[in-house]
Structure 1
Amino acid sequence: MAGFKSISRLARGYADICRTLARAITPFGRTTAEQRDERRGRACRELKFFAETYFPHYLTEKPSKMHRHFYRRFQQAIDRAQSPKQRGKGSFPSRLVHEVQDLNEIKSRMERIETQLNRPIFDDGSPAQHGADPERKQAINTYLRKGEGALNPHEVKLLSVDSDPQGGYWVTSEISQRVITQITESSPLRHLAAVETTSTTRR
């Protein structure tokens, strides 16, 4: 949400930035009116190109495109305009750069969070899933890396869910919990009765 707010602030301040650049880009010393107009126009065109091209895609595209254009071209224009009197520290273009840097950091954090959320979860909250059962963890890793054929009978038993005569079914703990929840929600009798396994501590 903070990233979208930053984009909104940048969009609202777009006209102000162009006016600020038009004033700031004027070089010191003797120059012609044509030279000043050309430099002001170039700075505004650079900013317009950046804003119209990269803002709509900023949260989905890799930041390399933004970096190549924004930090190479627009930052150079700001530096050239501000350096004679050190105006860059508190100027609006300088604050714009910090806004985009903050937005880039927010985007990176969002991508890391999204990556973590998209990872498969093999944890149902039980103590066995938090390091108390390393054999089962190793069996899961073996199955995911090499397939069912690489499992020995003991590992197959560790990964079994339920205790039917055929040896149960292998599913992750997360899926097992979902199945149990779905059965409870879909069967009227499950709201009135409970099932407990007495021959083993496993499901």
Structure 2
Amino acid sequence: MNSSAPLSIDETKQQAHALFNEGDSEGALQLLKQALQQHPNEISLVLGLAQLTFQSGHLQEAEQLLTQLPEADQASGEARSLAALFQFSRIVMDAPEQAELVAKLQQDPHHLESLYQLAAYLMLHHQIEPALKCLLESIQIDKNDHNNRAQKLLLDIFTLLQNDHPQLVNHYRRQLQSFLN
């Protein structure tokens, strides 16, 4: 392949991920930004840039990239997954370490904030069912949660998982309904 020939979008994303994995996060981000200037409507480049920006430790900048997408693109599966990842990360940002939350819940199994934060940690570690159980437990303990944040997070997770895990979502959705009735 001619080294001066422009890279395809897929090749650009692959090269950016390779650079990132080699420890050159700045090079990876710069490559995606340059490609985005050439292809400003290429959603996969925006999503790739948002993901690597997040992985570089710049959560707010990554969130801004997502919010600049047209609404239809924000509703795509990959964009929703990234938005959820960012949401879980924002929750745990100010939370104690996961082990500390577990210890706190052993002392006080009804500590709502710890249940909420632990659910976010669990989702970040792809422990979906334990996360759903934490949120349901929180809702069951405090049905009058004044801002419904555990319920909102649970519903966001349902939306995120609906296509890949419909039976799991339906099971926990029924449990949620039984708690709310």
User: What is the TM-score with the length of structure 1 in the denominator?
Assistant: 0.29
Structure with the larger RCO, 1 or 2 (CA within 8 Å, 6+ apart) = 1
| Higher Rg of the two aligned structures | 1
